[in-house]
Amino acid sequence: MNLWEGAADEVASLFREERISEEGLGGDVLHVTATGLIAHDGRVLLGKRTSTVRFAGMWDAFGGHLVPCEEPSAALVRELQEELGITALRPRFLGIYEDIDPTSKDLFRHYLFFVTRWSGDPKITNEEHSEVRWFTPEEAEQLNLAPSLKDAIRRILPKKP
């Protein structure tokens, strides 16, 4: 007799009988992303988005959606490879922030990383950005950039005296 016979059905029935949580998000769409602030010599690399659907025409840090079961740091490395053709080396996790996309009104949860080491030369490798440029914290402050990213740049990059 197999000891595991029927065990899967028993476990499945436990989860069918009760909800894990009674609370929902109220219909909001939640997007989960890994985002990297790429910095060198007191400047941050940002890209101007081409999308008309999400964060339309805004400047943004690089990264993207996690695929199911993907760790945020692995997603970041994959996304930076896809968007800029670089491989992030030991990105440092800074924290999690959420914002509402002003274009789609969707809710985003971002895992934010600080990237100061990478291999390769950053360049546009797909259609997600029309322009890629290095900015000082003062210059980034003047851009159409999510307030949470402006705050992160202010906190992590030193201002010039």
pLDDT in tens, 142-159: 999 999 999 999 999 976
What rounded mean pLDDT belongs to the chain?
A: 84
- Count the neighbouring beta carbons within 10 Å of the beta carbon of residue 1: 3
pTM over 0.75: yes
Cβ–Cβ < 8 Å for 97, 152: yes
Q: For 5-31, what is each residue's pLDDT tens digit?
A: 554 454 444 444 444 444 444 446 689
Q: Could you tell me what percentage of the chain is helix, strand and coil, using 3-state DSSP and rounding each to the nearest 5?
A: 25, 35, 40
Domain boundaries, the chain: 28-156
- CB-side neighbour CA atoms (13 Å) of 153: 29
Q: For 57-83, what is each residue's pLDDT tens digit?
A: 889 999 999 999 999 999 999 999 999
Residue 18: the pLDDT is: 44
Q: Which residue has the tokens 């030369």?
A: 121
Cα separation, 158 vs 124, in Å, equals 27
Residue 3: the pLDDT is: 46
Q: Which token pair is 154? A: 């202010």
Residue 28: the pLDDT is: 65
Report, at the CATH architecture level, how domain 28-156 is classified.
Alpha-Beta Complex (3.90)
Q: For 46-55, what is each residue's pLDDT tens digit?
A: 999 887 777 7
Q: How confident is the model at residue 56 (pLDDT cuts 50, 70, 90)?
A: confident
